[in-house]
Chains A and B, each alone.
Chain A
């Protein structure tokens, strides 16, 4: 029971918005000490785990590319493309993006898009431009909400469609765990039963995006009259 204090450190630390890196280190030390390890062993164990997980940070290799194309005006160009189209809205744009992202992810192409390489340079500026076409003086809070929704849409699309691909980590983990529990499972069956959830996620998030569009619209209408 006492071992859960480490979890409590994380929850409280994040809730009161302390520096997250310090919170994580504190939680690891508390947990390790409660598990009966001496302090140097806890630090060494955390260091080893950090080193073993370096692959998590490899995705930042895209930053120089994103920065260079931003320097050359890609976000402005993305906005110009959207401004030149008629009838585009934040919701319709993000629904199209979600459809594309779910389909490519379901065939295993999870890493062809993402927050750094797609949302920041392309999708977020496009969404902002779509909103600005209806209301040129967007409040900063509205811009932030649009960006957050663009990021959320990428996550929702990926999470609920990645298991349709057979050779993805989570499906392989399930097969491995079930095998260790003496259940032989064809990964294809796990992928098959991921499809209803993927469809539901598309429908539910689409409805939310349509409602998001409506909330953006009446406000702009009222302001135009005033």
Chain B
């Protein structure tokens, strides 16, 4: 059975490659900072389970220190010039899209077809991790297609990957850092304190007020925690089930479903949802790190109002 460990091995090797190529990059004055940073990420993927909790803690502190002290530069791997790329585009034409199409097709086949496949009672891949395993398989196949069809050098996946990973910089690890912070918040009971405050001080005496408090609360709480999944149990257990369902007789399916989607409105507006909101500006080379959040706020606020109205109208149909 293919497990998540195989995917971590692949990721660890990829980051090891970024680290090694960084060390030889004369054009980057901070090249040893990059070597150390990507090397530590590689170590985490390859040996994280053997480092122990304290070892991992020190690794995380070292990563934060490297980035916080500004020791991370931007590598300059030799790549094609804009003019060369235009010429290549004219030569290859639509063939350029083939690798980009292989990726979603293989992911789709993996998730829909390969996931249920078993060999002698053993599943082909760990069903809980089918998406990530399919993604890793898809990347390997798509890279093989890209290298052969577009005749790219064998070192190009690591060199070009390094070019992009250095474009994103420290933001690469922010989503994982925030997920870890969420775990610390949960263990310390931060969610429960906020939930208790909300239920103690907010008006919940009419249907409209309770629906509004729950929907707005889901969005606000998600913004603070960075994740609707952390907000959902606290506010649904604190407000939605006892008051909306218990006292006012709302349909729990409508309440839960639209409540979660109200939380997603908060996700669109918070820098704590880094993989959606802060990594893309880095990836797209937009100088303002909050540019994507700013583009999302009008849609998010309109959707929050819409969700509140939808819940009020749909939850009390009978």
Contact = CB atoms under 8 A, between A and B. Distances in A.
B135 interface: yes
A178 to B, nearest CB: 6
A60 B178 CA distance: 16
Contacts, number: 406
Nearest to B15: A60
Contacts of B55: 47
A63 B286 contact: no
Interface string B291-316: 11011101100110011001000100
A24 B296 CA distance: 23
B274 interface: yes
Interface in A117-172: 117-122, 124, 144-145, 147-152, 155-156, 159-160, 163, 169-170
B303 A204 contact: yes
Given A64-B160, A151-B281, A196 B68 contact: no
B284 A151 contact: yes
A167 B139 CA distance: 23
Contacts of A152: 268, 292, 295-296, 299
Interface in A11-70: 11, 14, 17, 19-22, 24-25, 27-28, 31-32, 34-35, 40, 42-70
Given A160-B264, A201-B299, A74 B257 contact: no
Contacts of A52: 180, 183
B193 A205 contact: no
Interface string B63-74: 110011000000
A54 B284 contact: no
B96 A77 contact: yes
B139 A54 contact: no
Contact of A50 (B60, B89, B298): B60
B60 to A, nearest CB: 5
Given A4-B190, A20-B171, A204-B306, A50 B56 contact: yes
A193 B253 CA distance: 7
B190 A31 contact: yes
A23 to B, nearest CB: 9
Given A61-B14, A69-B99, A3 B189 contact: yes
B281 A111 contact: no
Contact of A68 (B68, B92, B156): B156
A71 interface: yes
Contact of A148 (B79, B112, B294): B294
Contacts of A21: 63-64, 67-68, 170, 173-174, 177
A120 B236 contact: no
Contact of B80 (A3, A71, A191): A71
B57 interface: yes
Interface stretch (B3-11, B24-32, B116-124, B201-209): B3-11
Contacts of A10: 181, 272
A80 interface: yes
B268 to A, nearest CB: 6
Contact of A122 (B60, B100, B107): B100
Contacts of B170: 19-21
A208 B285 CA distance: 23
Given A72-B88, A170-B260, A51 B284 contact: no
A75 B109 CA distance: 26
Contacts of B105: 112
Contacts of B239: none
A28 B180 CA distance: 9
A65 B157 contact: yes
A72 B151 CA distance: 9
A77 B97 contact: yes
A20 B84 CA distance: 37
B22 to A, nearest CB: 14
Contact of B179 (A53, A67, A208): A53
15 contacts: A7-B190, A20-B271, A25-B61, A51-B51, A62-B139, A70-B160, A74-B89, A108-B111, A115-B280, A121-B100, A148-B295, A177-B233, A196-B258, A200-B306, A200-B310
Interface of A: 1, 3-4, 6-7, 10-11, 14, 17, 19-22, 24-25, 27-28, 31-32, 34-35, 40, 42-77, 80, 108-113, 115-122, 124, 144-145, 147-152, 155-156, 159-160, 163, 169-170, 173-174, 177-178, 181, 183, 185-186, 189-194, 196-197, 200-201, 204-205, 208
The 4 closest A-B pairs by CB, nearest first: A67-B160, A47-B57, A47-B56, A112-B104
